Chain A
Amino acid sequence: MAQRTTEIIVGLFMIAGCAALLVLALQVSGLSPKSAESTYTIYANFNDTGGLTPRGRVSMAGVTVGTIESISLNKETFQAQVEMSIHSDVDNIPSDSSAVIRTSGLLGEQYIDISIGAEMDSLKEGDTFYSTQSAMNLERLISNFASGR
Chain B
Amino acid sequence: MIGRIAAFGRLGLDIVSSFGRSGRFLAGVLGGVPRPATGFPLLVKQLYAVGVLSLAIIVVSGLFIGMVLGLQGYTILSDYGSEAAIGQMIALTLVRELGPVVTALLFAGRAGSALTAEIGLMKATEQLSSMEMMGVDPLRRVIAPRLWAGFIAMPVLAVIFSVVGIWGGMLVGVDWLGVFEGSFWGNMQSSVDFVDDVLNGVIKSVVFGFVCAWIAVYQGYDCVPTSAGISTATTKTVVYSSLAVLGLDFVLTAVMFGDF
Measured CB to CB, the residues of A under 8 A from B are 3, 6-7, 9-10, 13-14, 16-17, 20-21, 23-25, 27-31, 55, 57
Contacts and interface: CB of A to CB of B under 8 A. Distances in A.
Contacts, number: 72
17 contacts: A9-B52, A10-B52, A13-B48, A13-B51, A14-B47, A14-B156, A16-B160, A17-B160, A20-B156, A21-B198, A25-B194, A27-B189, A28-B189, A29-B189, A29-B198, A30-B189, A57-B190
B193 A55 contact: yes
B155 A17 contact: yes
B48 A28 contact: no
Nearest to A55: B193
Contacts of A20: 156, 159-160, 162-163
B27 to A, nearest CB: 27
7 closest residue pairs by CB, A with B: A30-B189, A17-B156, A29-B194, A29-B192, A20-B159, A20-B163, A31-B194
A24 B51 CA distance: 20
B159 A21 contact: yes
B83 interface: no
Given A13-B55, A29-B198, A31-B194, A6 B48 contact: yes
Contacts of A3: 41, 44-45
A51 to B, nearest CB: 14
A110 to B, nearest CB: 14
B166 interface: yes
A13 B153 CA distance: 9
Given A10-B44, A10-B48, A10-B52, A27 B185 contact: yes
B189 A16 contact: no
B200 to A, nearest CB: 11
Interface in B36-58: 41, 44-45, 47-48, 51-52, 55
A28 B152 CA distance: 23
B207 interface: no
Given A16-B156, A27-B189, A28-B198, 19 more contacts: A3-B45, A7-B41, A10-B52, A13-B52, A13-B153, A17-B156, A20-B160, A21-B198, A24-B95, A25-B198, A27-B185, A28-B91, A28-B162, A28-B163, A28-B188, A29-B194, A29-B197, A30-B192, A31-B194
Nearest to B185: A27
A6 B53 CA distance: 11
B202 interface: yes
B163 A13 contact: no
B82 to A, nearest CB: 8
Nearest to B186: A30
A13 B52 CA distance: 6
Contacts of A7: 41, 44
Nearest to A23: B163
B163 A24 contact: yes
B77 to A, nearest CB: 12
